A and B are shown apart, each in its own frame.
Chain A
Amino acid sequence: MKQSQSVVANSVIFVYSCYLILPLYWLFSMSIQSSQDITTNAGWYPKSPTMANFQEIFTNPVWYEGFLNSLTYVLINSTISIIVALPAAYAFSRYRFLGDKHLFFWLLSNRMAPPAVFLLPFFNMYSSLGLFDTPLAVALAHCLFTVPLAVWILEGFMSSVPRQIDELALLDGHSFVHFFCRIFLPLIRAGIGVTVFFCFMFSWVELLLARTLTASAAKPIAVVMTRTISASGIDWGLLAAAGVLTILPGLVVVFFVRNYLTRGFALGRV
């Protein structure tokens, strides 16, 4: 069937796009206005645009350190997740072993655990390990849902590589480690990219655990934002500017994996 873009289809896309863009436009428009203007002189577009809010964020350590803290634990988390998930995903995709199906579902079940359930024990555990208020604590806590996800996605990508390749390489006399690092990993690099993207995404967007496991030193940006609300009134312009900045890292990573995006969202299963 020739894919014909009918008027109906185009208007569906157009309406949905408007629905997505309007709140984002409003956020951006707020971010370049002063709080004064926002509350007294609201209009459909910014009347006297200013960069003051962004300037405040880039010069005030509370704000930019919040960003750095968030990026730190997200990076630690992605690294750990990939390193432990690669061999496990290979095992699931290539071998049958005692209890493999149950193990796989059990891993998945951690993705289903409401973070709220783990609040207290995490708090106690990381406090007693002396990790409370460090990026490492948040990174490890986020492993609860990023590691199962990483195993799931990587398994999907690995299963689409024919098993004959493994056997040929081993017959050719390559050692397993050499085969895995030099031949196999390059074959699934798209999958690795997508997995990093998903670890990044789920760790970056999470607030509840990050908020509970940090106090002051490792405070992530999301928490800086919520605490600004509860402090002296709400500085809408500043809040909006911080919001705009939190969208940027996601945009950067999504651009890199754009061609594998749909496959990743289908967890490598299409």
Chain B
Amino acid sequence: MRKRINNRAWLMVLPVLFLVAMSAVIPLMTVVNYSVQDIFDDNNRVYVGLEWFIQIIRDPELHAALWRQILFSANVLAIEIPLGILIAKAMPRRGSVATGLLIFFAIPLLIPWNVVGTIWQIFARPDIGMAGMSLTSLGLDYNYTANPVDAWFTLVAMDVWHWTSLVVLLVFSGLRAIPEAYYEAAQIDGANRWQMFRHIELPRLKTVLGIAVLLRLMDSLMIYTEPFVLTGGGPGNSTTFLSQYLTRMAVGQFDLGPAAAFSLVYFIMILTLCWLFYSLISPAEEQTER
């Protein structure tokens, strides 16, 4: 059955529209405003056109942060998505064991992000942390506050710890929705495990995997709190990602103009990526919604 056309439905959307406009559109306008002005104080502002944009596009530190960001996001996606599929496939499909495992796996997702940072700080410190002490006693020279490679390793391990469960939960719910008959038919046809995964499970997981990749991509591009607590962006700038760099510019140095210009570019970048991705997965979504 098709949805009815009813333009009065707009009335029901109005409250959301109002609220989101208050908390998104007005602030965004302010950002646009800042990005083209040089502000000394409330009564003293000069229109500077695209100057701030040119400045940030030429900022070598920003380029470095961008590359680190891309590397980080690619890294965690490449680990979390396959690992999540693997774990979801290894879980029993039904029963109380499955429910228990789900609740247990969900725990990292419910911990405040700064506490995730704190947990890994306590866990990884070479002097008092379990992982840190173990690595040191194995004779490895491990110190995430001094060595950039160790810092990266710790950050990725932390993100995998924090977010793999999200992928597991999504894939698990997708797997559970596959009717038993599909497997039986495949078995009669003599399909092996890989063929079953490739031709039966994977196509039916398209929607949930789409959501998983979309969420992980967005959130990893915005990561701020966990590295802020764990490494503070260091050692040096080696774990300073885009959000961190932006926050430092805006709140730390009060460079309103460049920070606003950077904000816009940052937002548009994420939006474009997600829009591309959203239009890739939405045909699949239409099918399941019917």
Contacts and interface: CB of A to CB of B under 8 A. Distances in A.
Interface of A: 1, 3, 5, 8-10, 12-13, 16-17, 19-20, 22-27, 30, 38-39, 42, 44, 80, 83-85, 87-88, 90-92, 94-98, 100, 103, 105, 107-122, 124-125, 140-141, 143-144, 147-148, 151, 159, 163-164, 201, 204-208, 212, 221-222, 225-226, 229, 236, 239-240, 242-243, 246-247, 250-251, 253-255, 258-259, 261-263, 265-267, 269-270
Nearest to A9: B90
Nearest to A87: B12
Contacts of A243: 111, 115, 118-119
Contacts of B6: 95-97
Size band of the B side of the interface? 35 or more
Contact of B103 (A12, A113, A143, A261): A261
Interface in B72-129: 86-87, 89-94, 99, 101-115, 118-120, 122-123, 127-129
Contact of B30 (A124, A141, A212, A261): A124
A109 B119 contact: no
Contacts of B128: 30, 38-39, 42, 236
Contact of B123 (A26, A91, A118, A269): A26
A112 B218 contact: yes
A94 B4 contact: yes
B224 to A, nearest CB: 6
B44 interface: no
Given A84-B19, A108-B278, A120-B256, A267 B176 contact: no
Contacts, number: 303
A121 B39 CA distance: 14
Contact of B133 (A42, A119, A222): A42
24 contacts: A17-B101, A20-B107, A87-B13, A96-B4, A105-B278, A114-B221, A114-B243, A114-B246, A114-B266, A114-B270, A116-B246, A117-B246, A117-B266, A118-B27, A120-B34, A140-B19, A143-B19, A143-B20, A225-B115, A243-B111, A254-B107, A259-B99, A269-B285, A270-B207
B195 to A, nearest CB: 13
Contacts of B246: 114, 116-117
Contact of A265 (B127, B166, B285): B166
B91 A266 contact: no
A222 B112 contact: yes
A88 B16 contact: yes
Nearest to B221: A114
B104 A95 contact: no
Q: Tell me the dominant secondary structure on chain A's binding face.
A: helix
Contacts of A84: 15-16, 19
Interface stretch (B46-54, B143-151, B179-187): B179-187
B174 A13 contact: no
A97 B5 contact: yes
Contacts of B90: 8-10, 12-13
A1 B187 contact: yes
B286 to A, nearest CB: 11
Contacts of A12: 86-87, 90
Given A20-B105, A38-B128, A236 B225 contact: no
Given A9-B89, A144-B24, 13 more contacts: A87-B13, A94-B9, A97-B7, A107-B16, A114-B243, A117-B31, A125-B27, A148-B20, A222-B114, A258-B103, A262-B169, A265-B170, A270-B207
A222 B106 contact: no
Nearest to A90: B12
A5 B180 CA distance: 16
Given A115-B222, A204-B112, A143 B122 contact: no
A119 B251 contact: yes
B59 interface: no
A112 B113 contact: no
B198 to A, nearest CB: 15
**9 closest Cβ contacts across the A-B interface?**
A250-B110, A121-B27, A262-B173, A1-B183, A9-B90, A87-B12, A121-B30, A91-B9, A95-B9
Interface in B54-68: none
B172 A262 contact: yes
Contacts of B221: 114
Contacts of A267: 211
Nearest to B243: A116
Contact of B114 (A19, A90, A225): A225
A22 B177 CA distance: 32
Contacts of A258: 99, 102-103
Contact of A17 (B104, B173, B247): B104
